[in-house]
Structure 1
Amino acid sequence: MKRGSGRRTRLETRLNVLETPMFLVDASRTILFFNRGCEKILEWSAEDILGQTCDYAVDADADEFESVCNLLCPPPEVFKGTRAEVPRYLLSQSGKTFPCMIRYSPLLDEQQQTKLVLGILDHIEEPHTLPAASPSQQLHAELAALRLSLRNRFRFSTVIAKNEAMQRVLRQMELAIRASQPVHFSGETGTGKEHLARVIHFESEQRRKLFVPLNCDELPPRELKQTIKKIFQRDFEEAMPLEPGVIFLSQIESLTRDIQELILENHQSTTHKENIRLITASSYSLSDLLEQERILPEFFYQITTMEIEIPPLRERREDLELLAQHFLENENRYQQKQVSGFAPGVLSLFLDYFWPANLDELSRIIQAAFRATSETLITRESLPLRFNTGMDARSLGPALSPTMQTLEEKLRQVEEEQINHALALSKNNRTEAAKLLGLTRAKLYRRMDALDIRIGEEPASPQKDAKND
Structure 2
Amino acid sequence: MTRGTGRRTRLETRLNSLETPIFLVDASRTILFFNRGCENILEWSAEEILGQTCDYAIDTDADECESVCNLLCPPPEVFRGTRTEVPRYLLSHSGKTLPCVIRFSPLLDEQQQTKLVLGIIDRIEEPHTLPTASPSQQLHAELAALRLSLRNRFRFSTVIAKNDAMQRVLRQLELAIKTTQPVHFWGETGTGKEHLARVVHFESEQRRKIFIPLNCADLPPRELKQTVKKIFERDFEDSVPLEPGVIFLSQIESLTRDIQELILANYQSATHKDNVRLMTASSFSLTNLLDQELLLPDFFYLITTMELRIPPLRERREDLEVLAQHFLENENRYQQKQVSGFAPGVLSLFQDYFWPANLDELTMIIQAAFQATSEPLISRESLPLRLKTGIDARSLGPALSPTVKPLEETLRQVEAEQIMHALEISKNNRTDAARLLGLTRAKLYRRMDALNIRFDDELASRQNESKKV
TM norm structure 2: 0.90
Out of 432, 448, 451, the position equivalent to 2:448 is 451
Q: Distance in 2 between matches of 1:203 and 1:334?
A: 25
Q: Which runs of 5+ in 2 are unaligned?
A: 461-469
The answer to which of 230-239 and 312-321 deviates more is 230-239
Partner in structure 2 of residue 224 of structure 1: 224
Q: SS of the residue aligned with 1:338? A: coil
Q: Tell me if structure 2 keeps the 8 A contact 1:412–1:451.
A: no
Q: SS of the residue aligned with 1:457? A: helix
Change (3 A) 1:447 1:435: closer
Partner in structure 1 of residue 295 of structure 2: 295
Query: Which amino acid in the other structure matches residue 448 of structure 2?
Result: L
Partner in structure 2 of residue 106 of structure 1: 106
Partner in structure 2 of residue 164 of structure 1: 164
Cα-to-partner distance string for 1:256-311 (whole Å, 9 max, x where unaligned): 11111111111111221100100111111211121222211111100111101111
Question: Deviation of residue 454 (structure 1)?
Answer: 2.7
Change (3 A) 1:414 1:214: farther
Matched pairs, number: 449
- Aligned pairs for 1:1-40 within 5 A: 3-40=3-40
Change (3 A) 1:133 1:401: farther
Query: Which amino acid in the other structure matches residue 325 of structure 1?
Result: Q
Q: Distance in 2 between matches of 1:254 and 1:301?
A: 17
Q: Tell me if structure 1 keeps the 8 A contact 2:434–2:444.
A: no
- Aligned pairs for 1:33-52 within 5 A: 33-52=33-52
Q: Tell me if structure 1 keeps the 8 A contact 2:426–2:432.
A: no
The answer to which of 96-105 and 445-454 deviates more is 445-454
Question: Deviation of residue 449 (structure 1)?
Answer: 4.8
Query: Which amino acid in the other structure matches residue 241 of structure 2?
Result: P
Q: Distance in 1 between matches of 2:285 and 2:108?
A: 61
Query: Which amino acid in the other structure matches residue 69 of structure 2?
Result: C
Query: Which amino acid in the other structure matches residue 266 of structure 1?
Result: N
Q: Distance in 2 between matches of 1:397 and 1:226?
A: 53
Q: Distance in 1 between matches of 2:36 and 2:412?
A: 69
Q: SS of the residue aligned with 2:455? A: coil
Q: Tell me if structure 2 keeps the 8 A contact 1:84–1:105.
A: yes
Cα-to-partner distance string for 1:292-350 (whole Å, 9 max, x where unaligned): 22211111100111101111111111111000000000000000000000000000011
Q: Distance in 2 between matches of 1:360 and 1:162?
A: 19
Q: SS of the residue aligned with 2:206? A: coil
Q: Distance in 2 between matches of 1:272 and 1:411?
A: 52
Question: Deviation of residue 398 (structure 1)?
Answer: 3.8
Partner in structure 1 of residue 82 of structure 2: 82
| Alignment root-mean-square deviation, CA | 2.6
Cα-to-partner distance string for 1:186-241 (whole Å, 9 max, x where unaligned): 11111111101000000000000001011111111111111101000110134633
Q: Tell me if structure 2 keeps the 8 A contact 1:290–1:297.
A: yes
- Aligned pairs for 1:197-216 within 5 A: 197-216=197-216
Cα-to-partner distance string for 1:48-68 (whole Å, 9 max, x where unaligned): 110000000000011101010
Q: Distance in 1 between matches of 2:124 and 2:309?
A: 39
- Aligned pairs for 1:182-261 within 5 A: 182-238=182-238, 240-261=240-261
Change (3 A) 1:451 1:296: farther
Q: Distance in 2 between matches of 1:52 and 1:325?
A: 24
- Aligned pairs for 1:46-445 within 5 A: 46-238=46-238, 240-398=240-398, 417=418, 420=420, 423-424=423-424, 427-428=427-428, 430=429, 434=431, 444=441
Change (3 A) 1:458 1:105: closer
Q: Distance in 2 between matches of 1:4 and 1:212?
A: 62
Q: Tell me if structure 2 keeps the 8 A contact 1:88–1:99.
A: yes
Q: Distance in 2 between matches of 1:415 and 1:239?
A: 56
Q: Tell me if structure 1 keeps the 8 A contact 2:18–2:36.
A: yes
Q: Distance in 2 between matches of 1:114 and 1:210?
A: 46
Partner in structure 1 of residue 465 of structure 2: none
Partner in structure 2 of residue 467 of structure 1: none
Q: Tell me if structure 1 keeps the 8 A contact 2:245–2:276.
A: yes
Q: Tell me if structure 1 keeps the 8 A contact 2:87–2:133.
A: yes
Q: Distance in 1 between matches of 2:29 and 2:378?
A: 21
Q: Tell me if structure 2 keeps the 8 A contact 1:82–1:106.
A: yes
Q: Distance in 1 between matches of 2:166 and 2:244?
A: 28
Change (3 A) 1:290 1:337: same
